[in-house]
Amino acid sequence: MRSLLRPSPPRRSPLRLRYLPLLALVAVSAVAGLRPAPLAAQAPVRYVRYRIANDVAWGRIEGASIVQLRGAPWADPTPTGMRVLRTQVQLLAPAAPSKVIAVGLNYKSHLGERPSAAYPGLFAKLPTSIVADGEEIQLPPDAKNVHYEGEMVLVIGRRARDVSPAEAKAHVFGVTVGNDVSERDWQKNDLQWFRAKAADTFGPLGPELVTGVNYEDLLLQTRLNGEVVQSQRTKDLLFDVATIVSYVSRYVTLEPGDVIYTGTPGTTKPMKVGDVVEVELEGVGVLRNPVMARR
């Protein structure tokens, strides 16, 4: 016998109901010829490498605290569950690279009347040249003409070998602040720039490694004893980040943690014992180092 009751309407899926407003918005946008709004830009994340007691660790900055990570942030950023105050640790340079590459003459303001090159001019510094924020730049006894060079520094997060410019940015983990200290007389007269650029303490770096900033357009400034002596935006780099990383990777395999100093703007001056040099990169931080005689 056929039931006289009217069958119940089919139940709507809660999942379908949840997405009805979104589907309606997409449909309206399609009709109106509109594109969906872009996603919000990635918020900057700040990392440090530090020593506490006899241990060296990586951490993520959260206010006045450091959240300890299991490994380098490009390798294993999982929190360990430990948290310390910044005041309780000694900050180290935010990379321990196997290679330190640098680009010369990469701002027109530093080139002066010299013509621009067809490709990035590269040289190498040594890992032993790197010192952290707050550590001394130590002048060897025979160094008479040592200059500051404030720079943006790239930190590699993925192995890069012969990558294209389109692929290159995916291999950059983040940026930090650097000072490519240079002895001009040695740079001019030596066979190579080995001691002029790679002497101990000639590569200050730090204090933080930052992701999520637009490193294609950041204000870079250097101050000597509080006076601004360099000031330019990174958008003025003659060879941009993608070009630099791609070009370096043609000849040298870049490993995670390797760093590239991208070049300095403007003119530079000698530093003397007792000076303090600060390099500031917008949204990234201030690298501050006193200048002392080597002991």
pLDDT digits (tens, 9 = 90+) for 45-58: 999 999 999 999 99
pLDDT tens readout for residues 272-291: 999 999 999 999 999 999 99
- Percentage of the chain modeled with pLDDT above 70: 86
pLDDT of residue 47: 98
Three-class secondary structure of residue 229 per DSSP: strand
pLDDT at 42: 76
**97 vs 173: CA distance, rounded Å:** 13
Nearest residue to 91 via CA among 200, 192, 209, 219: 209
Q: Are the C-beta atoms of residues 155 and 209 closer than 8 Å to each other?
A: yes
Please tell me the predicted confidence (pLDDT) of residue 114. Answer: 84
CA distances, 265 to each of 49, 149, 195 (Å): 28, 8, 22
Range of weakest confidence among 30-39, 71-80, 110-119: 30-39
Q: Is 234 exposed, middle or buried (0-12, 13-18, 19+ CB in 10 A)?
A: buried
CA 144/CA 86 separation, integer angstroms = 37
In the structure, what pLDDT confidence band is assigned to residue 28 with cuts at 50, 70 and 90?
A: very low
Q: Where in the chain is the domain with CATH 2.30.30.370?
A: 45-92
H helix or E strand, kind and range, residue 138: strand 137-139
> Mean pLDDT of all residues in the chain?
89
Q: What CATH number has the domain spanning 100-293?
A: 3.90.850.10
Using an 8 Å Cβ cutoff, are 181 and 291 in contact?
no
Candidates 136, 158, 176, 154; CA nearest to 242 is: 154
Delimiting residues of CATH 3.90.850.10 domain(s) in the chain: 100-293
**Average pLDDT for residues 166-192, to the nearest whole number?**
98
Mean pLDDT in residue range 149-159: 98
pLDDT at position 41 is: 52
**Beta-carbon-side half-sphere exposure of residue 229 (alpha carbons within 13 Å):** 21
Q: What is the pLDDT of residues 126-144, one digit of tens each?
A: 999 999 999 999 999 999 9
Closest CA to 182 of 282, 102, 120, 290: 102
> Is the pLDDT reported for residue 67 higher than 50?
yes
Strands 150-156 and 45-52, bridge-based pairing: unpaired
With 70 as the cut, is the pLDDT of residue 15 above it? no
In which band, very low, low, confident or very high, does the pLDDT at 117 lie, cut at 50, 70 and 90?
A: confident
Q: Which CATH architecture has domain 45-92?
A: Roll (2.30)
How far apart are the C-alpha atoms of 66 and 75, rounded to whole Å?
18
Kindly give the pairing relationship between strand 90-92 and strand 45-52: antiparallel
Query: Which helix (H) or strand (E) element contains residue 29?
Result: helix 14-32
